[in-house]
Amino acid sequence: MKKILILFLITYTSFAQNVAKIDTGVINGAKYRILFPENWKGKLVMYAHGYEFMGAKPRQSGNPDFIKRMSPFLERGFAVAASDYAFQGFALAQGVDDTEALRSYFFKKYGKPDSTFMVGHSMGGGVTMATMENLDKNYQGALPMCPLSSRPYLQCRKEFDIYATFNGLFPGVVKPLAEIFDLTKPYQAQDSRKMFGRAKEIKTAIFAKDSLLALAFAKRYDLKIDDLPMSLFFNENVLRDIAQKAKGNPFDNTNTLYSGFPNDLLVNQKAERLPATVNPNDVFGKYERSGNINKPMVALHTVYDQLIPATYAIVNFENMVHHQNKDQYFTVKYTNGQGHCNFTASQTGKAFDELRTWVKSGVKTKAGFIE
């Protein structure tokens, strides 16, 4: 279950070589950090980070593990520039804008690099894809990893549906959606330090009610049973955050017919139902996913992901790319990782090397497995 923390704290066992220079500052209210390796070769990786709980500390710019996480790029002679984004939580559009502002700053201060690649994990993978769909002229290619690559509304709607159906089958275990989207109460993000304890409480409660139903429920949402409690904890924070940013509920499941459960009739009769109170485009509309890419993109994904299953991360986006007739720019590489963004530094480096070779040679890299 602890692998869920990889969403906002990805660590590698290998260390990056010495960093010769670090440039830090603030652009439009967003802190940034730029790392220059000793063997900088005039090349740049623009990096976009994943979802952070509101109030989580430290922010990326102050994270002591950041250099270590960027080792696959630094050791290849690339500078790495990363924005914290102006705010935490769901910040896909903000991440695109703040990353673009930082890229512009880098080009003006240090000159246009020999080559520039866009890279990101999780929500940052979504930032990466949105950047390549809308602002790709300064990039040679992109490496989104376990990305939020479906339509942002659909990805977050999945979290809403998990809560709606779970509360119908296991009432009283987690907060109801009606309470999560109640703006009359002051916003309070859950403390991530209490995640493991709360997850244990949830697992105990659902197994006491019906362990077989709990197993079937987890399977319905492509989850291992041990990851279900942690996902519920995480999803509550995401939904609370979206409620605040949207100033209401952007989701509507009053017409939804749920299926894939042992007893679909029971689920539909008991599922928590809420109408939308705000337009979803207000929070999800900017940089809506299109699949219209024009530069090489290698998407790296694990075979199991408890937060963004491959159906959301790969299948939906691949269909969009195909609809745009841009298949020549998209390749998927996968690992046997068992968890969200659970890649080794070596796997990340290999995927990045294949992307660079594709860009240099003009020959599309083959899809497939990375050891």
Q: What tokens does 225 get?
A: 């049973």
pLDDT above 90 for 140: yes
Give the whole-angstrom CA distance, residue 203 versus residue 225.
9
Q: Indicate whether 11 and 140 sit together in one domain.
A: yes
Residue 194: its pLDDT value, please?
Answer: 80
Q: Rounded to whole angstroms, what are the CA distances from 93 to 45, 162, 219, 238, 276?
A: 19, 24, 31, 16, 21
* Residues 260 and 156 sit within 8 Å (Cβ to Cβ): no
Cα 131 from chain centroid (whole Å): 14
The total of structural domains in the chain comes to 2
pLDDT above 50 for 40: yes
* Residues 126 and 228 sit within 8 Å (Cβ to Cβ): no
Q: Indicate whether 175 and 270 sit together in one domain.
A: yes
Q: Enter the DSSP assignment of 315.
A: I
Domain ends where: 233, 263, 283?
283
Give the whole-angstrom CA distance, residue 85 versus residue 89.
10
Does 171 sit behind a cis peptide bond, omega within 30 degrees of 0 on the bond before it?
A: no
Q: What is the CATH number of the domain that holds 330?
A: 3.40.50.1820
For the residues 133-148, what does the mean pLDDT come to? Answer: 97
* Residues 84 and 53 sit within 8 Å (Cβ to Cβ): no
The packing angle between helices 92-110 and 123-134, to 10°, is: 60
Q: How sure is the predictor about 8, in pLDDT bands with cuts at 50, 70 and 90?
A: very low
* Residues 89 and 243 sit within 8 Å (Cβ to Cβ): no
Q: 107 CB contacts (<8 Å, ≥6 apart)? A: 113, 138
Residue 191: its pLDDT value, please?
Answer: 75
Q: Indicate whether 185 and 173 sit together in one domain.
A: yes
Residue 17: its pLDDT value, please?
Answer: 53
Q: Indicate whether 346 and 294 sit together in one domain.
A: yes
Q: Indicate whether 48 and 73 sit together in one domain.
A: yes
Give the whole-angstrom CA distance, residue 370 versus residue 361.
20
Give the whole-angstrom CA distance, residue 241 versus residue 105.
30
Do the strands 43-48 and 115-121 form a parallel or antiparallel pair, or are they unpaired?
parallel
Residue 146: its pLDDT value, please?
Answer: 96
Q: Which amino acid is at 201?
A: E
Which residues partner with 142 through β-bridges? 118, 297
Domain ends where: 254, 283, 312?
283
* Residues 94 and 85 sit within 8 Å (Cβ to Cβ): yes
Q: How sure is the predictor about 186, in pLDDT bands with cuts at 50, 70 and 90?
A: confident
* Residues 81 and 44 sit within 8 Å (Cβ to Cβ): yes
Give the whole-angstrom CA distance, residue 298 versus residue 91.
23
Q: 273 CB contacts (<8 Å, ≥6 apart)? A: 164, 253, 254
Residue 64 lies in domain = 2-149+290-369
Q: Indicate whether 116 and 211 sit together in one domain.
A: no
Nearest to 72 by CA among 80, 63, 62, 64: 80
Q: Indicate whether 10 and 122 sit together in one domain.
A: yes
Q: How sure is the predictor about 119, in pLDDT bands with cuts at 50, 70 and 90?
A: very high
Q: Which amino acid is at 227?
A: D
Q: Indicate whether 170 and 222 sit together in one domain.
A: yes
Q: What is the mean pLDDT of the chain?
A: 92
Give the whole-angstrom CA distance, residue 218 versus residue 288.
29
Q: Indicate whether 343 and 316 sit together in one domain.
A: yes
Least confident of 16-25, 50-59, 243-252, 325-334: 16-25
Task: List phi, psi (to 5°) of 165.
Answer: -80, -35
Q: Indicate whether 262 and 295 sit together in one domain.
A: no
Domain ends where: 252, 283, 314?
283
Dump pLDDT digits (tens) for 202-252.
999 999 999 999 999 999 999 999 999 999 999 999 999 999 999 999 999
Q: Indicate whether 8 and 78 sit together in one domain.
A: yes
> Residue written as tokens 């593990």?
65
Q: What tokens does 37 get?
A: 């390796």
Q: What phi-psi label fits residue 248: left (phi over 0), alpha (psi between -120 and 50 degrees) or beta?
A: left
Proportion of the chain above pLDDT 70, given as a percent = 95
**pTM confidence score:** 0.93
Q: Indicate whether 12 and 130 sit together in one domain.
A: yes
pLDDT above 70 for 2: no
